[in-house]
Copies of this chain bind each other. A is one copy, B any other.
Amino acid sequence: MSILEGNMVIAQGGGPTAVINQSLVGAVLEATRYPQIKQIYGALHGVRGLRDGTLVDLRATTHANLEAIAQTPSAALLSTRDKPDAAYCQKLFEQMKARDIRYFFYIGGNDSSETVKIIGEYAQQAAYEMRVVHIPKTIDNDLTVTDHTPGFGSAARFVAQAFAGANLDNRALPGVYLAVIMGRSAGFLTAASALARRYPDDGPHLIYVPEKQFVVDSFLQDVRRVYDQHGRCIIALSEGVWSELDSKGKPKPMIVSIFEQQGQEVPRDSFGHPRLGGGALADTLVSLITEKLQLKRVRGDTFGYLQRSFVGCVSEVDQREAREVGQKAVQFACGLGQSGSVCMRRIGNYVVEYFLETDISKIGGKVRHMPDEWINNAHNDVTPAFLEYARPLIGQIPAFEQLQATPIS
């Protein structure tokens, strides 16, 4: 194999995570070990920076700044939601040719892996020799092939710590508490709320993921049963839960149904997806529980952006793996001359190894869902198998304890 010489560019796409810069720094430092890589460019705002030529020189960045960046959440190279079409790709390749870019690394989730696929195909058609590697990240954990995705462990830890606290709060001042977690169609992050349970009466007592239909009547019965048992009830549910299908037979997010019932237009993002953020889902369910079950002290939160970018809540396991996928991406491209998507395979408890999925069409634009074995039969909790899967990923969360004291007669 002849060694491909040239410049490299790296960029970050999609929603930020707490450890996305670990992958950036891992790749940049690893690249300095390969003499065939001349310039190390960073493109600002993802592929848009490559298209527009807004690049920075990452060889000129100090080691100290890189290591500080690695500890900083959210994309240091800034991000984008752009998905290149043919015209966009043409502009990208004008830049790549003009700047002799032969290595392209893109840190991102589903959309970004699709971008990597498109760029790889375009390069092949154009007979432009280059290595194109997708470095995985997403808090949603919804990439196929890989055991899990960097970024998930830290977001899952945030959710677990938030529920650990909410549970303690709710024990002290009992009532119903529900929180809406990010997750349009995959429930992994919502499921991570279960990792906060330690004592038998700890919440969340009910967990609803978008992999299963959310039946409002069953939900209310569940809440009533838990409340009667514990004198309180804590609920985790995904922003993407749905109780009916749309005209095309696809799950219609409950937030869309709520907006429709109020006669309002549902806000949409630049891809035309309905925006699932905002407090309406939590507020509506709070009203429903208050009215239908006649309960007092019913409260709802929507975790929102906190769960993906909070400074100071990182899984040490996630941090290390995010670093390593960046390093391995460069090794696969430069050491082995391969293109594809870096994946993790679990080979022990808990040990992973890294491999490259060279058929990126298995990942690009695909969505992984919670398997049935990880959701209980009543569709209102996770199974022990999920806990076993997820526990190593969040690292060591702070301990919390109940008071052990003898009652006075």
- The interface of chain A, by Cβ under 8 A from chain B, is 12, 15-16, 39, 41-42, 53-58, 60-62, 65, 68-69, 71-81, 161-162, 164-166, 168-169, 171-173, 177, 179, 196, 267, 270, 277-280, 282-283, 286, 290, 296, 299-306, 308-313, 397-408
Contact = CB atoms under 8 A, between A and B. Distances in A.
Given A57-B405, A177-B305, 8 more contacts: A16-B172, A72-B399, A72-B402, A73-B400, A76-B403, A78-B172, A78-B173, A279-B300
Contact of A313 (B69, B171, B313): B313
Contacts of A62: 404
Given A172-B16, A301-B304, A57 B309 contact: no
A168 B72 contact: yes
A148 to B, nearest CB: 21
B172 A71 contact: no
B305 A303 contact: no
A74 B310 contact: no
A72 B400 contact: yes
A406 B168 contact: no
Contacts of A408: 39, 41, 53, 55-57
B403 A65 contact: yes
The number of times this chain is found in the oligomer is: 2
A405 B42 contact: yes
A268 to B, nearest CB: 11
Contacts of A58: 405
A167 to B, nearest CB: 9
A69 B404 CA distance: 9
Contacts of A301: 302, 304-306
Contact of A306 (B41, B280, B303): B303
User: Which of A41, A80, A166, A399 has the most CB atoms of chain B within a 10 A radius of its CB?
Assistant: A166
A38 to B, nearest CB: 13
A290 B405 CA distance: 54
Contact of A74 (B41, B78, B165, B279): B165
B69 A168 contact: no
B302 A302 contact: yes
Contact of A406 (B16, B60, B277): B60
Contact of A72 (B76, B177, B309, B401): B401
